Amino acid sequence: ATRRLVERGLLPRQQADFDDLCNLPELTEENLLKNLRHRFLQQKIYTYAGSILVAVNPFKFLPIYNPKYVKMYENQQLGKLEPHVFALADVAYYAMLRKQVNQCIVISGESGSGKTQSTNFLIHCLTALSQKGYASGVERTILGAGPVLEAFGNAKTAHNNIPSRFGKFIQVNYLESGIVRGAVVEKYLLEKSRLVSQEKDERNYHV
């Protein structure tokens, strides 16, 4: 009966997947996971839940982080284009310029979910948006601090060989014109217990 109503145009055709989980006709855990899985199999690793971006780690590099994508998402309304980490960076950057108020992006997830990589993509996009033709080594400097921090704060767990065992707060500072002036990286909640004992299949810090 439903199929006939769809064919007669009385009901909308069922979408194959939804790029915003808030649009699911029936919000259940099963439907939510099914939607994420369906998108993931089409290499769509990003999905919105309103203004929250859900990322599923593909465990391989996808060619969706080049300057063409930075340009494509520049100054666009959230949700207008396919979900992407650059869209969040763009919204935060232009909200900061427009409102002259600090913006914050929180990245959280399981061990191995790709938080560090997502942070790097965000910084890449934020510095690219700010440079506007100005040659700058700021991005290289900010991202270059990562491996040093990781050497002292990453340790093998039973699930992952290179997870961060510390929290990181990165503050990117801008001039009023929107050009990056510099950054401050603070680490917190370092798992100090690893210095004296490790669980089975887990290790101390890399350094």
Residue ranges at the known binding site for ATP: 109-116
Please give the Cα distance from 18 to 23 (Å, whole number): 7
Tokens of 92: 């935060």
* 3-class DSSP assignment, residue 46: strand
Please give the Cα distance from 7 to 28 (Å, whole number): 27
Residue type, 149: L
Residue ranges for the known binding site are 109-116
Q: What length is written for the chain?
A: 207
Residue type, 15: Q
Q: Return the ∠ at Cα 87 (arms to 72 and 13), rounded to 5°.
A: 90
